[in-house]
A and B are shown apart, each in its own frame.
Chain A
Amino acid sequence: MRRIGTWIAVGGLLLATAACGGGGGGSKGGSSGGQAASLAVGFVAEPANLDFTSTEGAAIPQALLVNVYEGLVKLDQDGKIQPLLAEKWDVSADRKTYTFTLRKGVTFTNGAPFTADDVIFSLDRVKKDWQLKIKAQLDVVDRVEKEDESTVIVTLKHPSNGFLYSMATRLGAMFSRTGVADLANKPVGTGPYQLGSWKRGDSILLGANPKYWGAKPKLPAVTLKYFKDATAMNNALLTSGIDVISAVQAPESLQQFADPNRFQTVEGTTNGEVVLSLNNGRPPFNDKKVRQAVRYAIDHKALLDTAWAGRGQLIGSMVPPTDPWYEDRTGDYPFNVAKAKELLGGKTYTVKMRIPNLPYAVASAQVVKSQLAQVGITADIEPLEFPARWLDVVFKQGDYDMSIINHVEPRDMGIFADKSYYFRYDNPEYGKLLAAADQGTEQEQIDDLKKAAKLLSDDAAADWLFLFPNLIVAKKGVTGLPKNGIAEAFDFTALAKQ
């Protein structure tokens, strides 16, 4: 990289810096405008590996889905399902048979053509090889058959509203039969981008896939730069090290980006419910009254204002506002210390609050602790390293009383129906509502899920602190930033720089 700055570099550090940010391979475009070569986007959590079929967590699909891996269908910005690798699909009258017509001329980045056999292979792999809890969403699939090279028929055990939606998530990602040998390091997909390089601990470079079947992405390369420290990420944007902060982790700092001549802020909603999980399976939170007391004891507005600078939305149950069955349930348990004390009946409790060591959790936990102390519940905060230790102790072993985590998966009401899930919530009524919703008509689905969300809230299965905001800060001139973060992927194909 030669720069004009070099000529005047002696003592002229000021000049050279406009272009010296980035660190990662592709972001050298800097702030100087002109040719939109590439873009650097800052993210929080670097994936440990690139295999989202065996590793939990949102970081991998966020980077790779839609960009590197494509499914038969995808979600658009309004949450509607659109064709992707399937040109179209037909649903039988009994809603149990889906006939997908595949796009022709699609190849994987390893050169192999994409055919019906790859669809069968990919869906079989979910059943056989995937290691994620969410794979249960595709248990509804009875069999997958090919009619010809570009037609696949999926037969379900029973009608399901969730099936096609799941196919738009990572579960529906299409893998090459010859491309799964080293998923952890070498992803092979059909998407507009392919993995360029991965500097561990620093950045992932995605370069345009020259053989892509569809429209070329506007940016030939995107650098995903990873920051463990929220302030470091802010500073990188302030100094042109990156162009976009994908999710602001220090919302109090937004003031730094107030200058509209340099920055823009996008604020919307996500699918991320920041849940105050209560262990329904052991004392004291196996007692509904104690759980209800917790919900009354928390002043959610104050919590959001202090812990997350008022950014986000109060929800009250497990449904984000972008889902059709959303209802504002914040009125179910209005802040009421007297009511909470009454429910506790003068008893005091000491509970273990085991939280991931993430900014929103550590901030929220301190507020929750302070507020619960007012009603006689002592919460001992214990931050665990995220992901591994938290997943092990809280998520897997269920050894906790109280936790705080942002459940980012889309349409994840189902996790409360699984009584082995770490909430240990067990109400057969809830499961029945969810099953009916999945099999019913569109309107039945909405009605049933509204009932289910109310049931969760009434039971105080957990407390919902707030809905995590989609808070993006970018340099002026960057376009195509999603208003609402409702897909698992951060879609780079829409991004452009003026």
Chain B
Amino acid sequence: MNAGLIAGAVLVGIVVLAALVSFVWTPHDPTLVDAAGKLREPGGGYLLGADKFGRDTFSQLMVGARTTLYVGIVAVGIAALIGTPLGMIAGMTPRGWLSELIMRVNDLVFAFPALLLAVMLGAVYGAGTLTAMIAIGVATVPAFARVARAATMQVMVTDYILAARAAGRRRVAIAVRHVLPNIGSMLIVQASVSFAIAILAEAALSFLGFGTRPPIPSWGRMLQESQELLFSTPRLALWPGLAIALAVLGFNLLGDGLRDYLDPKLRRIRAER
């Protein structure tokens, strides 16, 4: 166990906890407009004060954590579910035409970054959390495919796989029984790092108005809405900004720490990816 891993786990744990608690309890209704409480100073049940609509910042941050995790889980889920099998196929048949095709398509998808896809999807279907998640997810597929492929190629030359192949096991069985468990740790590491990137992407999209719709709290939009008050009430920008930074830091540290913890030798593969 290293310090980074612990720090990462704690930060991520806080975000998850805040999100889970927000389902059953927040200090105040995070979307309730209260003119009397406009720009309320911190204190008196409002731990971090309120925004210009009189909405409790702390409650908004808690529900914002939910939005953040929601986007991250769905986006990373899409990427992992599509990218992993493709990468494994490519890794198990490294010289075949299928592998070549997969990796070329992969390169092509890579040419559509999350922001571009989100703007395009938003233009067609209307911007919102769903389009943002799908866009970020699809744009993350190549990262998963590449990691899965690289790890699979390493696993494929190990003795037990060679033995399994010699024993005439079917490929699907080998993939599920032997390859997947062995590349799992790499995928978890990649998921953690992708999660961090997804959080940043959601924030950028919300900033541009292509992310989560108002009034659902989102850290990115809180930051965007706080801009006009940066001069007079900087804390409104401080808290969501800090939340984003700490969450991203947490997932990155978690990813790095997990990598070192699970398999120090795997460092190289990732670095060369």
Contacts and interface: CB of A to CB of B under 8 A. Distances in A.
Interface of A: 229-231, 234, 250-253, 255-256, 299, 301-303, 305-307, 309, 357, 362-363, 365-367, 369-371, 381-385, 389
A301 B53 contact: no
Given A253-B231, A306-B52, A366-B214, A357 B33 contact: no
Interface in B27-48: 31-33, 35, 38
A461 B53 CA distance: 27
Given A255-B232, A366-B214, A305 B38 contact: yes
A383 B227 contact: no
B213 interface: yes
A301 B35 contact: yes
A252 to B, nearest CB: 5
Nearest to A368: B33
Given A234-B228, A370-B33, A382-B128, 8 more contacts: A231-B227, A253-B232, A302-B35, A306-B54, A370-B31, A381-B215, A382-B213, A385-B127
A234 B8 CA distance: 38
Contacts of B31: 366, 369-370
B57 to A, nearest CB: 15
Contacts of A251: 228
B214 to A, nearest CB: 5
A250 B38 contact: no
B116 to A, nearest CB: 16
B74 to A, nearest CB: 20
B204 to A, nearest CB: 14
Contacts of B32: 370
Nearest to B128: A382
Task: Give the residue among A230, A301, A306, A384 with the most B Cβ atoms within 10 A.
Answer: A306
B271 to A, nearest CB: 38
Contacts of B227: 229-231, 250
Interface string B207-235: 00100011100000000000111111000
Given A306-B38, A306-B53, A383 B232 contact: no
19 contacts: A230-B227, A230-B228, A231-B227, A231-B230, A234-B228, A250-B227, A250-B228, A252-B52, A253-B232, A256-B231, A303-B35, A306-B38, A363-B53, A365-B214, A367-B53, A370-B31, A381-B213, A382-B128, A385-B127
A302 B34 CA distance: 8
B35 to A, nearest CB: 3
A201 B77 CA distance: 38
B214 A362 contact: yes
Interface string B52-64: 1110000000000
Interface residues of B, number: 22
B35 A357 contact: no
Contacts of B33: 302, 306, 366-367, 370-371
B64 to A, nearest CB: 15
A303 B213 CA distance: 19
A383 B52 contact: no
B181 interface: no
B61 to A, nearest CB: 17
Contacts of A382: 126, 128, 213
A383 B228 CA distance: 20
A389 B127 CA distance: 11
Contact of A253 (B209, B213, B228): B228
A255 B127 CA distance: 33
Interface in B50-99: 52-54
A250 B52 CA distance: 12
B131 to A, nearest CB: 12
The 7 closest A-B pairs by CB, nearest first: A250-B228, A302-B35, A370-B33, A231-B227, A253-B228, A366-B215, A256-B231
B145 to A, nearest CB: 33
B46 to A, nearest CB: 16
A384 B214 CA distance: 12
Contacts of A253: 228-229, 231-232
Contacts of A389: 126
A428 B165 CA distance: 83
A252 B229 contact: yes
A307 B229 CA distance: 13
A230 B54 CA distance: 21
Nearest to A393: B126
B34 to A, nearest CB: 8
Given A252-B52, A383-B127, A370 B215 contact: yes
Contact of B228 (A231, A362, A366, A381): A231
A357 B127 CA distance: 11
A382 B31 CA distance: 16
Contacts of B209: 357, 383
A385 B38 CA distance: 28
Contacts of B126: 382, 384, 389
Contacts of A383: 127, 209, 213-214
Contacts of A230: 227-228
Contacts of A371: 33
B231 A381 contact: no
A184 B53 CA distance: 41
Given A230-B228, A255-B231, A306-B53, A381 B35 contact: no
Contacts of B231: 253, 255-256
A72 B31 CA distance: 52
Q: By CB atoms of chain B within 10 A, which of A256, A362, A389 has the most?
A: A362
A69 B172 CA distance: 74
Interface in B127-142: 127-128
Contacts of B35: 299, 301-303, 305-306
Contacts of A301: 35
A306 B53 CA distance: 5
Interface in B154-176: none
A253 B227 CA distance: 9
A383 B38 CA distance: 24
A302 B227 CA distance: 21
B44 to A, nearest CB: 19
Interface in B1-41: 31-33, 35, 38
A38 B140 CA distance: 49
